[in-house]
Amino acid sequence: MTSEKDLLRKAHSFDPDALAEIYDSYSPGIYRYAFRLLGEQDLAEDCLAETLSRFLLALKNNGGPREHLQAYLYRIAHNYITDQYRRKEQWEHELTEAHPDLEQDVRASLNSRIDENKLRHALSCLTPDQRQVVVLKFIEGMDNRAIARSIGKPISAVKSLQHRALAALRRMLKNELEEE
Amino acid sequence: MNMFRNLPFQSNSDVISLLVKLQTVPDRQPEQVESGRRLFLEQAEVYRVEIARLDKRRQGYKRVNSFTRLKDFQYIRLFSTIMIILLISMVGASLTLAASQSSLPGQAFYPLKLWSEDLRLNLSYYSPASYLLALDFSDQRMREIEAITKSGGVPPDAVLVRLENQSDLAIAAALRLEQRQAIMAMQAIHNRIQSQNQVLEQLEQEFQVQPQVEQTLSRTREMLQLRLRQVEMYLEEPSLFLQPLPQVSAQVSPGSLLLQQSEVVPKGTPVPGNLPGTAGFPAGCISCTPGGTLSPSTLAPGSIQSTPAGSQPAQTTAGNQPNQPGSPSTGENQPGSPPEAPGNQPDKPERPGPGGYRKR
SS3 at position B294: strand
Give the mean model confidence (pLDDT) for residues A121-146. 85
Q: Do A35 and B11 touch (CB under 8 A)?
A: no
- Cross-strand bridge partners of residue B149: none
**Which residues of chain A lie closer than 8 angstroms to B9, CB-CB?**
170, 173-174, 177
Nearest to B233 by CA among B293, B288, B179, B277: B277
CA A106 – CA A103 distance, rounded (Å): 5
Following CA atoms A157, A162, A167, A172 in sequence, which dihedral angle do they give, to the nearest 10 degrees? 120
Angle (deg, nearest 10), helices A144-151 and A155-179: 90
Give the mean model confidence (pLDDT) for residues A74-82. 88
B296 vs A68: which has the higher pLDDT: A68
Question: Confidence band (pLDDT; 50, 70, 90) for B273?
Answer: very low
Q: Is the pLDDT of residue B293 over 70?
A: no
B278 vs A49: which has the higher pLDDT: A49
- Where is average pLDDT lowest: A5-14, B118-127, B143-152, B266-275? B266-275
CA A98 – CA A102 distance, rounded (Å): 10
Nearest to B130 by CA among B259, B251, B250, B226: B250
Question: Confidence band (pLDDT; 50, 70, 90) for A95?
Answer: very low
Q: Is the pLDDT of residue B91 over 90?
A: yes
CA B214 – CA B216 distance, rounded (Å): 5
Q: How many residues does chain B have?
A: 360
Q: What is the mean pLDDT of chain B?
A: 69
B327 vs A139: which has the higher pLDDT: A139
Interface test with A, best of B7, B23, B28, B53 (most A CBs within 10 A): B28
Around Cβ B224, how many Cβ atoms within 10 Å? 27
Q: Give the chain B residue whose CA is nearest to the CA of A53.
A: B40
Q: Do B44 and A19 touch (CB under 8 A)?
A: yes
pLDDT at B155: 85
pLDDT at A120: 81
CA B343 – CA B316 distance, rounded (Å): 6
- Chain B residues near any Cβ of chain A (below 8 Å): 1-5, 7, 9, 11-12, 14-16, 18-23, 25-26, 28, 32-33, 36-37, 39-41, 43-45, 47-48, 50-51
**Which residues of chain B lie closer than 8 angstroms to A134, CB-CB?**
19
pLDDT at B70: 67
Contacts 24+ apart (CB under 8 A), A109-114: A111/B1, A111/B2, A111/B3, A112/B3, A114/B2
Q: Are B274 and B300 in contact (CB under 8 A)?
A: no
Q: Give the chain A residue whose CA is nearest to the CA of B13.
A: A166
CA B56 – CA B45 distance, rounded (Å): 16
pLDDT at B68: 64
From A20, A57, A138, residue closest to B16, measured CB to CB: A138
Q: Do B12 and A167 touch (CB under 8 A)?
A: yes
> What percent of chain B has pLDDT above 90?
8
C-alpha triplet B2, B5, B7: angle, nearest 5°:
120
Q: Is the pLDDT of residue A76 over 80?
A: yes
SS3 at position B331: helix
Question: Confidence band (pLDDT; 50, 70, 90) for A104?
Answer: low
Nearest to A15 by CA among A59, A61, A67: A59
- Where is average pLDDT lowest: A80-84, A116-120, A143-147, A158-162? A116-120
* Residue B133 to residues B74, B197, B208, B315, Cα–Cα distance (Å): 46, 19, 32, 26
Q: Is the pLDDT of residue B99 over 70?
A: yes
Q: Does the pTM of the predicted model rise above 0.80?
A: no
Q: Do B47 and A108 touch (CB under 8 A)?
A: no
According to the per-residue pLDDT averaged within each range, which of A63-67, B80-84, B197-201 is highest? B80-84
DSSP for residue B116:
H
Around Cβ B106, how many Cβ atoms within 10 Å? 9
pLDDT at A57: 92
Q: Are B330 and B313 in contact (CB under 8 A)?
A: yes
Each residue's pLDDT tens digit, B318-340: 333 334 433 333 433 444 444 34
Q: Is the pLDDT of residue B259 over 50?
A: no
Give the mean model confidence (pLDDT) for residues A27-38. 88
Q: Give the chain B residue whose CA is nearest to the CA of A59.
A: B47
Q: Is the pLDDT of residue B295 over 60?
A: no
Q: Is the pLDDT of residue B134 over 60?
A: yes
Q: Give the chain A residue whose CA is nearest to the CA of B18.
A: A119
Question: Confidence band (pLDDT; 50, 70, 90) for B242?
Answer: low
Q: Which residues contact A139 (CB under 8 A, 6 or more apart)?
A: A33, A36, B19, B20, B22, B23
C-alpha triplet A112, A114, A118: angle, nearest 5°:
115
Question: Confidence band (pLDDT; 50, 70, 90) for B5?
Answer: low
Question: Confidence band (pLDDT; 50, 70, 90) for B298?
Answer: very low
Q: Is the pLDDT of residue B176 over 80?
A: yes
Nearest Cα of chain A lies from the Cα of B80 at a distance, in angstroms, of 43
Is the ipTM value over 0.85, yes or no? no
pLDDT at B305: 38
Q: Are B286 and B258 in contact (CB under 8 A)?
A: yes
Q: Do A24 and B20 touch (CB under 8 A)?
A: no
Q: What is the mean pLDDT of chain A?
A: 82
Give the mean model confidence (pLDDT) for residues A98-104. 53
